[in-house]
Structure 1
Amino acid sequence: MPAPRVNFRGRGPRCLVSTHLVDSVQVSQVPANTHRETFRPLADFPPDIWGDYFMSLSFNNSELKSSSKQVEALKEKVKGMLKDCIDQVEKIMLINDLCRLGLSYHFEDEIQELLSYHFHSMSKLIDDEDLDLHTVATIFQVFRLHGYPMHHGKHHFPIFHANGLNYNIRIIINTVDFDSDVFNKFTDDEGEFKEELASDVKGLIRLYEASQFRINGEKILDEALVFTTKHLQSSLAKQSTGSHIREYIENALNRPYHKGMPRVEARQYISLYEQDESPNETLLNFAKLDFNRVQCLYQQELGTLSSWSKEMNIASRLPYARNRMVEIFFWAVGFYFEPRYASARNIFAKLLIILGFIDDTYDAYGTFEELECFTHAIQRWDICALDQLPEDYLKILYGAVLNVYDEVDRMESNNGRCYSMSFTKDELKKIVVSYLMEAKWTKEGYMPTFDEYLEIALHSSAAVLVIAQVLVGMEEADANVFEWLRTGESKSLTAINLIARLYDDIATNEDEEKRGLVACGIKCYMKQYGVSKEEAIQEFRRRLGIAWNELNQEFITRPRVVPIQILERVVNIARVIDLTYKDEDGFTMSEKILKHHISNVLIHPVPV
């Protein structure tokens, strides 16, 4: 029995598929009366844990309006704080708090203007001033988080407008070197970090988090990761259970800020910030009110999506598949939490719900012959193909695919964006062909080489398709962005494929062994290279680190045609993958892995 797929397709992310790969599986229509296997690779998926909860919620619009007014008043107050703050370092520290409290989206213009203005002098300031490790690491992290480069010469920065959109208008400025060498002041004559830093726990935490922004070749940050991990683990053992600093250390080691889903991190940081010795009460109240206000908006969106899902009535008619509407919407919040992306979240959720049913049909129900028929029908993309499908469940699924895609296509075409769904539809056609290849391996009990496995595995997770679905409803994603996506010539696209694939293979290898699966990534690697499972996992983790570094590098040296908001979505996809699949298959085992986070972000308000 094949294991439930994880990541976006279950088996890991995949990049753009080449023509020869599409042609490598011959898709033939199977007549309705052709003999088919009766064995179905059923997976005993856990049921939906949410039911109609979000449809049952009621909303007090007057309270929401009152909350919005309070938020606007606090927003103006914080704008004044940003404007009136004279000290450069204090200003950067304020920006850091705004980011971590989930408030920075209110001040995109102001933050970009301030960072651009101070960037050229920051390296000299760090050299001249007696700044401690915590401060330097925070400054470094804030600039990297906002996509600032580390090279001499000219670089393009986006101009942000009041509505938060980027219209690809650029300015060219001269930049100075502001790289990881800023940490040299904390090393000894041998180039090693000074041992006296071991007692600076807050500085270690921030240096550890700064090291997550490293790119390949930044040796000092590689060393910082090793140094801080060692001493934070040692310090953790000395901290009393439930202490404030212990919680900071545990959170950082478990999931550093850079790899955390923004809304989950904001909820967590609000609680920690409140326990600080002297929190800024204006920021704290602002963060609480805004988090709860936005949570209410999410609940309304989920109520609407739940009604749509119930009216479509596909989950009850395809009971073999996972019903994960709430988890999918939670992912959408992870990709773009800002209120202005409500329409994009709705579109993405609908498209991924359909992809989830397709995924489970290939993995956990269809026979190979039935799947050949369905793959052929997807290539035709014609309602007339429905009558040629041999089973009612395939007709239900095929009709849903056409209906949902056509619904979104009409919306996008009316907005002059027909290119977005054209690409998305083409990518789905390629994805199902790779799904069919994996079904063929399962049927034949075939174990491919790792290289052969990876060629399919880096595609059939549907990472590129998911990125496209994320971008469909975004105004910033113009035709140039979809052309960038189509070419696949991007370090970030390659990196996100590997990140999702490797997380999945490491997390699910034991379950796959128990289920007797043959074509598993770790098994294929062990066979091709003659290594143990432990050695294979170690190599996968090494590649995973490199992939994150590549993702970081493209974010700070981004292509001209790609606004920073687009690359932020790609990074956010990696963050959601980490949250969902770092330890186990959280999409399948939602109650165990995701329920707590979903409840904190979508259900339980922050105590005010």
Structure 2
Amino acid sequence: MAVQVQGSVLGNTNILLCLSKAPSPPFPTLFPLRLHKAKRCCFVAAHSTSSTKATPLSSNHRESGRPLANFPPDIWGDRFLTLSFDISELNRCSRQVEELKETVKDILMASTTDPLHNVLLINSLCRLGVSYHFETEIEQQLTNCFDKLSKIIRNSAHNLHAIAIMFQVFRSHGYNMSSDIFNKFKDENGEFKVSDTKELISLYEASHFRINGELVLDKACAFTTSQLKSMVSRTSPHYAQYIENALYCPYQRGVPRLEARQYICFFEKDEDGDEARNDTLLKFAKYDFNRIQMMHQQELSNLCSEWKEENIESRLPYARSRIVECFFSAIAVYFEPCYARACNIYAKLLSTLVLTDDTYDAYGTYEELQYFTDAIQRFDIGVIEELPTNYLKLVYETILNIHNEAEDKMRKEGRSYAISYTINEFKKLAEAYFVERRWVHRSYVPTFDEYMDTAMTSSAGLVSVCQALVGMGEADETAYQWLINTDNKLHKALNKIGRLYDDLSTNEAEEKRGLVCGTSCYMKQYGVTRQEAVEAYREMIEIAWKDMNEGCLKPMPVSNKIAVRALNIARLVLVLYKKDDGLTRPELSLKDAIAKVLIHPIPL
């Protein structure tokens, strides 16, 4: 079939391609919902890992240029679809939460008479995952405490644990407390003076809020990491578990729901806790966690039902079926009940990234993708007949349907701009995907600098934040303008974190499939070994986290509620890639995280 494309956005004009429609089953219209797994969509999924072998291709497939991959199947089956709900238990937990909330609020307000105790209590509320109930009160109290910070520090001058906790609390809420205070806890040789395990842990956690140039915290991080590793085997089981969790993923870099689940268990057994600890807080946190978990289970069950009705796995069999993992990704960005609608919208928009990524990486031919990329730039259902295959028409229609569904909702609220900004970033993402596919098609290995120019966009970090803000009423047009600003450290840091973690997790397998790999590009440009490239990547990741931390500090033209979505996506990336490619092989690490958040309640 001859297809003429005039004035393609890809820079090719009057392209005449002779394409044969690949034999495929009919693809009926798909309703606006889908999700799968893929490489370049870094916060959602990476490409195949060392555990994922490339599918042997037939000669016809090789001739067609399809980069087929054998993605592992969904591991959940109908588990969430058939989940039974105890409505009476949900109602009981909700009643307990409402009753305890008033008691905890009274405790919080009473703590203001002692600023140090106040900050320690706020820390406990944050770590237990219940601070969202008291956002207004906490913000007012922290503002008051920050104004009196020098006095509080004088009264706690010799308490490293308290100072480190204060530092964490203020930094996590955007207050730029100076790190110079930690120099007071060094001896004459410049070494840190730490008296017990609590001080060591709190200093370690505080060090992960550092920004570029804070050398004292760089040293604190190196010191505490070494000390904590050496003491895991010789401390109590209670503290050993906390230390192992913290070394694996510091609090500042952890997904909020996972961190809350782990800290509740630690808090319950901590006999040497802060003054702020009490059983009322513990009970409140347990009931609230279980209440939210049941709400999420209901939402996920509905999503799985829609997913199964559409029979997506058989209609687009090349793509990954990861509806549960993607819902987990959404609640990693916002778990609070007030954002239930935003979470639903985000999960569906997120699915378009994963499906698009799989189309570029795991099925589309180079010729087909030229037309597909051009169609994405036009983003108009009227061009669907110009696509050369039925499967591309289905993918394209699905993408448009999902965005149109979200736009209809936003238009009623006067927030259509949210979808407009999101679509613009989606178009840039598709262009970046195509550039990377063109490298493969031409057997071209770019320099690392050239690779990163494109790969920062194909990490999909920025478009993901745009999607996450769509359902958030707080995200006005100013928030979007701030987000996409090229000088915005936050989105640049997110893109870099996503890209670098992705590469470390997936490059070895990608190289075997003939894909362009970032670490290989780095080795080529700088003439280093693979291990040296990996070490350089890790250093770049640490710098990016410092930029992320700095991007969340006041003053900002937007509220902390907006900035924290980008931070949460970066946190999600770490969970997905820490051990392996979590969405390609969720059973390796992600399965356990999902079970903690979405399956197993906390014993009351």
Question: Shorter-chain-normalised TM-score: which range?
Answer: 0.7 to 0.9
Residue 570 of structure 2 is aligned to residue 543 of structure 1: no
Q: Work out the CA distance in 2 between the residues paired with 1:26 and 1:555.
A: 44
CA contact (8 A) 2:267 2:282 kept: yes
Offset of 1:59 from its aligned partner? 2.5
RMSD: 2.0
- Give distance in 2, aligned partners of 1:45 and 1:78: 48
Report the Cα distance in structure 1 between the residues aligned to 2:432 and 2:503, rounded to whole angstroms.
18
**CA positional deviation for 1:62:** 3.3
Residue in 2 that maps onto 1:108: 135
1:518/1:429 CA distance change after superposition, 3 Å: closer
2:254 to 251, 256, 260: 260
Cα distance in 1 for residues equivalent to 2:160 and 2:9? 52
Which residue of structure 1 lines up, in the alignment, with residue 397 of structure 2?
399
CA contact (8 A) 2:501 2:577 kept: yes
Check whether the contact 2:65–2:366 (CA below 8 A) recurs between aligned residues. no
Q: Distance in 2 between matches of 1:483 and 1:359?
A: 26
| 1:472 paired residue number | 470
Partner residue, 1:371: 369
For residue 295 of structure 1, what is the aligned residue in structure 2? 293
Separation in 1 of the partners of 2:462 and 2:197?
A: 40
Distance 1:125 1:607 in 2: 38
CA distance in 1, matches of 2:154, 2:442: 64
**Inter-CA distance 454–43: structure 2 relative to 1 (3 Å threshold):** same
Structure 1 counterpart of 2:576, which letter?
T
Which of residues 210, 225, 232 is equivalent to 1:236? 232
Quote the residue 1:79 is aligned against: 105
Mark the CA change 1:315 to 1:568 in structure 2 (over 3 Å): closer, same or farther.
Answer: same
Aligned counterpart for 1:227 among listed residues 217, 223, 227: 223
Q: Is contact 1:409–1:418 with CA below 8 Å preserved after alignment?
A: yes
- Partners in 2 of 1:60 and 1:233 — Cα distance? 43
- Deviation of 1:309 after TM superposition, in Å, equals 2.3
Specify every segment of 5 or more residues in structure 1 that has no aligned partner in the other structure, as ranges: 1-20, 151-178
2-structure distance, mates of 1:429, 1:214: 34
State whether structure 2 residue 200 is matched by structure 1 residue 204. Answer: yes
Residue 42 of structure 2 corresponds to residue 43 of structure 1: no
SS at match of 1:553: helix
The answer as to whether partners of 2:579 and 2:588 remain within 8 angstroms in 1 is no
Quote the residue 1:355 is aligned against.
353
| 1:75 and 1:286 in contact (8 A); partners too | yes
C-alpha displacement at 1:32, in angstroms?
5.2
Partner of 1:451: 449
Please state how far the C-alpha of 1:27 moved relative to its aligned partner. Answer: 9.6
2:562 — aligned with what?
Answer: 566
Find the counterpart in structure 2 of residue 160 from structure 1.
none
Q: TM-score, normalised by structure 2?
A: 0.88
Change (3 A) 1:308 1:118: same
Residue 488 (structure 1) aligned to one of 486, 489, 494? 486
- Check 1:518–1:360 CA distance in 2 against 1; reply closer, same or farther (3 A cut): closer
Q: Distance in 2 between matches of 1:381 and 1:509?
A: 32
CA distance in 1, matches of 2:11, 2:215: 43
Residue 95 of structure 2 is aligned to residue 69 of structure 1: yes
CA distance in 2 between partners of 1:396 and 1:262 (Å): 36
- Tell me how far 1:463 sits from its aligned partner: 1.3
Any residues of structure 2 matched to 1:7-406 within 5 Å, and which?
28=15, 30=17, 33=20, 37-85=63-111, 86-129=113-156, 131-150=158-177, 179-194=178-193, 197=194, 200-239=196-235, 243-277=237-271, 280-406=278-404
Q: C-alpha distance in 2, partners of 1:411/1:543? A: 40
* Structure 1 partner of 2:523: 526
In structure 2, relative to structure 1, the CA distance for the partners of 1:27 and 1:402 (3 Å cut) is: farther
**Structure 1 residues 355, 313: closer, same or farther in 2, change over 3 A?**
farther
Pair 231,27 (structure 1): closer, same or farther in 2 beyond 3 Å: farther
| Percent of aligned positions that are identical | 51
- 2:440 maps to which residue? 442
Q: 1:114 to 1:557 in 2, by over 3 A?
A: closer
Q: Does 1:416 align with 2:414?
A: yes
- Kindly indicate whether the alpha-carbon contact (under 8 Å) linking 1:347 and 1:473 is maintained by their aligned counterparts in 2: yes
User: CA separation in 2, counterparts of 1:462 and 1:125?
Assistant: 43
- Alignment deviations for residues 499-547 of structure 1 (CA, whole Å, 9 cap, x no partner): 111111122233234x153521111011111111122111111111111
Whether contact under 8 Å (1:27, 1:375) holds in the other structure is no
C-alpha separation between the residues in 2 aligned to 1:360 and 1:419? 28
2:578 alignment partner in structure 1: 582
TM-score (norm 1): 0.87
Deviation string, structure 1 residues 453-472 (Cα, Å, up to 9, x no partner):
11111111221111111010
Residue 377 to residue 209, structure 1, CA distance change in 2 (3 Å): same
What is the CA distance between 1:311 and its match in structure 2? Answer: 3.6
Structure 1 Cα separation of the partners of residues 476 and 493 of structure 2: 22
Question: Number of residues paired by the alignment?
Answer: 553
**Aligned in 2, Cα 1:66/1:446: closer, same or farther, shift over 3 Å?**
same
The answer (yes or no) to whether the contact 1:144–1:556 under 8 Å persists in 2 is yes
Gap change, CA 1:22 and 1:587, over 3 Å in 2: farther
Identify the residue that residue 607 of structure 1 maps to in structure 2.
603
Say if 1:558 and 1:564, in contact at 8 Å, map to a contact too: no
Residues 27, 423 of structure 1: CA spacing in aligned structure 2 closer, same or farther, 3 A cutoff? Answer: farther
Give the stretch that moved more between structures: 584-593 or 30-39: 30-39
User: What's the CA shift string for 1:314-348, capped at 9, x where partnerless?
Assistant: 33201111111111110111101111000011001
Structure 2: distance between partners of 1:352 and 1:299: 19
- Alpha-carbon distance in 1 for matches of 2:82, 2:493: 41
Contact 1:28/1:373, CA 8 A, preserved across alignment: no
* Deviations, residues 364-417 of structure 1 (Å, cap 9, x unaligned): 111101111211222232323222222221121112112111111111111111
Q: 1:144 to 1:368 in 2, by over 3 A?
A: same
- SS at the partner of 1:565? helix
- How far the C-alpha of 1:485 sits from its partner, in A, is 2.6
In structure 2, relative to structure 1, the CA distance for the partners of 1:454 and 1:27 (3 Å cut) is farther
- Structure 2 equivalent of residue 171 of structure 1: none
* Deviation of the 1:285 alpha carbon: 0.8
Compared CA separation, residues 402 and 128, structure 1 to 2 (3 A): closer
CA 1:474–1:400: 2 relative to 1, 3 Å = same
Per the TM alignment, residue 310 of structure 1 is displaced from its structure 2 partner at its CA by: 2.9
